[in-house]
């Protein structure tokens, strides 16, 4: 096994162990939490190494990058793709059909585009609504009091099913800084008994997210290392 393969495998093993411990400490079954390995900017060869180490869920935040990697990895049929970025309506066709979950819808135009595309493809697409729990002006996501309105619209759209919420808390210094945001997201989600997914927690704070009820944690750099530059 080369060095890159053993480093990715060791990182995945360590993160899975930490997720299991955090879940146990919170009295939750570890099987409630899915690790989404965020592979953005990293090559498909790294995704193959993670796959060989047992990882199946991968997250990308540029539609073209996801589509390219999906084609490069088409021989791995049980790999699941998560789109975790901000989606432009005209890119929905790159994701549907084939994407497991769209994590971050925050406006009607994107919900409509996904619905149209799903109907054309004869599938149902599952999505989460991104909530700006930190209230930062520059951040993506809906204000907590805007969630209900988008949910109403989404429920009226065929081919689209909203199954939960997602957030990216303001960058903090220590993991605990994210807890209030995670708790807020969980509280909003609790008003909707039909929700099954809470996507929250990244490399720096996924254990806190698990103790606050995350069902999907999105971890990139702790698996694959530092990203040199972000971009498609
Ligand atoms: C990049 C990214 C992540 C992963 O971040 P890390 O800190 O590298 O774990 C998670 N969620 C979203 C939405 C991202 O864009």
The 10s digit of each residue's pLDDT in 101-118 is 999 999 999 999 999 999
According to DSSP, residue 232 is labeled -
Give the CA radius of gyration of the chain: 17
Q: Which residue, by CA, sits nearest to atom 12 of ligand 1? A: 84
Give every CB contact of residue 81 below 8 A, 6+ residues apart in sequence: 58, 59, 60, 66, 70, 98, 99, 100
Which of 218, 227, 228, 229 maximizes ligand 1 atoms within 8 Å of its Cβ, making it the mutation to test the pocket? Answer: 218
Element (H, E) at 164: strand 160-166
pLDDT of residue 54 exceeding 50, the answer is: yes
Ligand 1, atom nearest to 40 Cα: 1
pLDDT of residue 231 exceeding 90, the answer is: no
Higher pLDDT, 103 or 138: 103
pLDDT digits (tens, 9 = 90+) for 157-199: 999 999 999 999 988 789 999 999 999 999 999 999 999 999 9
pLDDT digits (tens, 9 = 90+) for 56-93: 999 999 999 999 999 999 999 899 999 999 999 999 99
Ligand 1, atom nearest to 61 Cα: 15
Ligand 1, atom nearest to 222 Cα: 9
What is the Å distance from ligand 1's center to 218 Cα?
6
User: What percent of the chain clears pLDDT 90, i.e. is strictly above it?
Assistant: 92
Long-range contacts of 85-94 (CB under 8 A, 24+ apart): 85/40, 85/60, 85/61, 86/61, 86/140, 87/63, 87/113, 87/114, 88/63, 89/113, 91/63, 91/64, 92/116, 92/117, 93/117, 94/63, 94/64, 94/66, 94/67
pLDDT of residue 230 exceeding 90, the answer is: no
What is the Å distance from ligand 1's center to 122 Cα?
31
pLDDT of residue 139 exceeding 80, the answer is: no
The token pair at 177 is 């800084």
Q: Say if ligand 1 is within 6 A of residue 92 CB.
A: no
Interval 136-150 mean pLDDT: 86
Measured CA to CA, the distance from residue 93 to residue 123 in angstroms comes to: 12
Instruction: Quote the pLDDT of residue 88.
Output: 93
Measured CA to CA, the distance from residue 183 to residue 197 in angstroms comes to: 14
Whole-number Cα distances in Å, 220 to 4, 5, 47, 217, 223: 15, 16, 11, 10, 6
User: Could you tell me the pTM of the whole model?
Assistant: 0.96
Instruction: Quote the pLDDT of residue 228.
Output: 74
Ligand 1, atom nearest to 166 Cα: 13
What is the Å distance from ligand 1's center to 120 Cα?
31
Higher pLDDT, 134 or 97: 97
Q: Say if ligand 1 is within 6 A of residue 55 CB.
A: no
Ligand 1, atom nearest to 230 Cα: 1
């Amino acid at each position: 096994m080369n060095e890159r393969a053993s480093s990715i495998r060791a990182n995945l093993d360590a993160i899975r162990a930490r997720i299991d411990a955090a879940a146990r400490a919170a009295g939750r079954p570890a099987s409630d939490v899915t690790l989404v390995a965020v592979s953005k900017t990293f090559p498909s060869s790294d995704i193959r190494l993670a796959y060989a180490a047992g990882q199946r869920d991968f997250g990308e935040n540029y539609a073209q990058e996801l589509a390219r990697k999906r084609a490069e990895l088409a021989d791995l049929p049980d790999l699941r793709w998560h789109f975790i970025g901000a989606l432009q309506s005209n890119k929905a066709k790159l994701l549907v059909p084939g994407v497991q979950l769209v994590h971050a819808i925050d406006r009607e135009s994107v919900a409509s585009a996904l619905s149209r595309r799903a109907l054309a493809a004869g599938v149902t697409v599952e999505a989460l609504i991104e909530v700006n729990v930190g209230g930062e002006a520059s951040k993506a996501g809906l204000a907590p009091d805007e969630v209900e309105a988008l949910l109403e619209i989404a429920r009226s759209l065929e081919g689209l099913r909203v199954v939960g919420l997602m957030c990216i808390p303001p960058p903090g210094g220590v993991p605990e800084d994210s807890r209030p945001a995670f708790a807020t997201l969980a509280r909003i989600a609790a008003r909707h008994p039909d929700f099954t997914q809470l996507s929250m927690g990244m490399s720096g704070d996924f254990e806190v997210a698990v103790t606050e009820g995350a069902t999907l944690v999105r971890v990139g750099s702790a698996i694959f290392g530092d990203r040199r530059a972000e971009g498609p």
